[in-house]
């Protein structure tokens, strides 16, 4: 499994020091994400503020990748983190996991 971290440099830079592949967000985050996926990354940790700039619905239902939000510089849209976490867990275990309410 290939793991990448995607977001602003000041957030992801420390992760580069421990050997995780990092991708800096920019003006074309949708294009950068497509590039990350094309390079074969399966688990993509994406900062909340970067997640807010892409059409995440296009990606969260794809079985070959998992987008996992991590804290960023700004607060995530209300309820978005729970929705994505619910979908990640559903993809991982194949069933709806209880205890995550809107």
DSSP states along the chain:
--EEEEE-HHHHHHHHTTT-EEEE--S-HHHHHHHHHHTT--EEEEEHHHHTTS-THHHHT-TT-EEEEE--SSPPPTTHHHHHHHHHHHHHHSSPPTT---
Q: Confirm whether 76 is domain-assigned.
A: yes
Query: Cβ–Cβ contacts within 10 Å for residue 59, how many?
Result: 19
Is the whole model's pTM more than 0.75, yes or no? Answer: no
Query: Residue 44 sits in a domain of what CATH number?
Result: 3.40.50.10580
Q: Confirm whether 100 is domain-assigned.
A: no
| Chain Cα centroid distance, residue 24 | 13
CA 22 – CA 97 distance, rounded (Å) = 30
What is the extent of the structural domain holding 53? 3-93
Q: Confirm whether 101 is domain-assigned.
A: no
Per-position pLDDT tens, the chain of length 102: 899 999 999 888 888 888 889 999 999 999 999 999 999 999 999 988 898 899 888 887 788 888 888 876 665 555 566 666 677 667 666 766 555 454
- For the chain, the residue count is 102
Give the pLDDT of residue 102: 46
Q: Confirm whether 102 is domain-assigned.
A: no
Give the pLDDT of residue 7: 93
Query: Which residue has 């867990």 as its token pair?
Result: 89
Q: Confirm whether 99 is domain-assigned.
A: no
Number of domains in the chain: 1
Half-sphere exposure of 74 (CA within 13 A, CB side): 10
């Amino acid at each position: 499994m290939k793991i990448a971290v995607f977001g602003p440099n000041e957030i992801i830079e420390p992760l580069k020091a421990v050997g995780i592949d990092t991708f800096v967000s920019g003006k074309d985050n949708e294009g950068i994400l497509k590039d990350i996926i094309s390079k074969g990354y399966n688990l993509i940790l994406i900062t909340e503020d970067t997640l807010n700039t892409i059409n995440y619905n296009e990606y969260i239902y794809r079985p070959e990748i998992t987008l996992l939000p991590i804290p960023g510089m700004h607060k995530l849209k209300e309820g978005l983190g729970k929705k994505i976490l619910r979908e990640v867990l559903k993809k991982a275990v194949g069933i709806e996991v209880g205890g995550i309410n809107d």
